[in-house]
């Protein structure tokens, strides 16, 4: 595998942003990493370790932290954006004056904006001053940051509108332990990455309630049906949800102990209040905010999403998790595939 040259910029130094910076450094790139928190910037600069989000993981000397966003954006033809969805638009707007025409911009944030119900690439399309200023891609799939930074074999998907651009980004990221596939279904990959977090909260709640493996398997399967139903209604290809960014990421997030969304759900199932759970978390559980977006999207598109609806009620209407499960199980009986027949495959 050839070694690249040049500098790349990574926007966001949470666990995933720092990990992707480490992957790029392993590929031979000099990486400029934007760190929002001043104290964390100083720690990474002085110790080569992100003690907030990845304690114990030594970072390559090729990674240079910055507290100045312009330093990381200006002059870079390849950027990776990994900031939480609720601040994504704000940070993106700040980046626009420094973007070079033709920049490849990879979004690795999994979420849907609450107010507009846009995906992250949708936010960019809305705010960019000119069409074609940047090439937008998204990176998603089953990938816990802690495992990737330990170089544990991982496979993931790079999606965009143009295959040649996705292939270029694929080459930039691919290492012997980080295998990247390409896709032309960007909206499907984005929606799968966002929606699986809501189902993971539900899976965690079932575990917290003490239910068994039968329950979890049923929840994941029916959760995938909901994700696919909404995705196809919004223009995604149904086969995308059978891939890494779909069932792959869903399985990981619903079953893995490193899943923040599953952890939130588990504690809800054990009877804790959401505000108390979130107050103890430094990292963002995107499924909490995405649940509100999905609830609104389902109503707008008239897509039935009963699991997501119940999780919304648990999170935002303080509904008891056990009552939510009862209401799901007591729904009218039906054919398993009736709604899915609306998904037409060419």
Paired strand residues for 160: 137
**Inter-residue contact 207 to 262 (CB < 8 Å):** yes
Rounded-to-integer distance, Cα 277 and Cα 150, Å: 28
- Of 329, 330, 305, 336, the C-alpha closest to 215 is 329
- Residues carrying an active site annotation: 196
- Of 85, 176, 182, the C-alpha closest to 139 is 182
Longest dimension (CA), the chain: 61
DSSP element (H, E) containing 61: none
- For 282, residues 6+ apart whose C-beta sits below 8 A from its C-beta are 52, 53
Phi, psi (deg, nearest 5) at residue 273: -85, 145
* Tokens found for residue 60: 């390559």
Phi, psi (deg, nearest 5) at residue 106: -100, 120
- Of 111, 132, 133, the C-alpha closest to 120 is 111
Q: Is 144 helix (H, G, I), strand (E, B) or coil?
A: coil
Instruction: List Cα–Cα distances, 27 to 5, 17, 58, 60, 172, in angstroms.
Output: 9, 16, 16, 11, 7
Cα 271 from chain centroid (whole Å): 27
Query: Which 8-state DSSP code applies to residue 103?
Result: E
Instruction: List Cα–Cα distances, 153 to 11, 48, 180, 282, 293, in angstroms.
Output: 24, 23, 11, 27, 32
């Amino acid at each position: 595998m050839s070694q690249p040259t040049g500098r790349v910029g990574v926007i966001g130094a949470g666990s995933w942003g720092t990990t992707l910076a480490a992957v790029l450094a392993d590929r031979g790139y000099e990486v400029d990493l934007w760190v929002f928190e001043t104290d964390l910037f100083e720690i990474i600069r002085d110790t080569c370790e992100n003690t907030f989000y990845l304690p114990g993981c030594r970072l390559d000397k090729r990674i240079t932290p910055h507290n100045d966003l312009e330093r990381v954006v200006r002059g870079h033809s390849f950027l990776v954006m990994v900031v939480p969805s609720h601040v994504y638009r704000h940070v993106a707007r700040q980046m626009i004056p420094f973007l070079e025409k033709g920049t490849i911009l990879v979004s690795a944030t999994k979420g849907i904006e609450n107010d507009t119900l846009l995906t992250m690439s949708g936010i960019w399309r809305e705010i960019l001053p000119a069409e074609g200023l940047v090439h937008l891609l998204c990176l998603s799939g089953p990938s816990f940051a802690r495992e990737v930074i330990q170089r544990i074999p991982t496979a993931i998907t790079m999606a965009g509108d143009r295959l040649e651009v996705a292939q270029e980004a694929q080459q930039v990221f691919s290492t012997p332990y980080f295998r990247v596939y390409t896709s032309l279904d960007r909206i499907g990959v984005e929606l799968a990455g966002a929606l699986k977090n809501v189902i993971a909260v539900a899976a965690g709640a079932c575990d917290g309630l003490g239910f068994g493996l039968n329950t979890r398997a049923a929840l994941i399967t029916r959760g995938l049906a909901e994700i696919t139903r909404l995705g196809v209604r919004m223009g995604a290809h149904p086969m995308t949800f059978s891939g890494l960014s779909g069932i792959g990421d869903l399985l990981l997030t619903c079953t893995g102990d490193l899943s923040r969304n599953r952890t939130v759900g588990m504690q809800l199932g054990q009877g804790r209040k959401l505000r108390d759970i979130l107050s103890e978390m430094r990292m963002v559980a995107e499924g909490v905010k995405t649940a509100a977006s999905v609830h609104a999207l389902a109503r707008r598109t008239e897509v039935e999403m009963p699991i997501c609806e119940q999780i919304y009620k648990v999170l935002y209407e303080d509904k008891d998790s056990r009552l939510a499960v009862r209401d799901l199980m007591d729904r009218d009986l039906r054919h398993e595939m009736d709604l899915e027949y609306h998904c037409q495959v060419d």
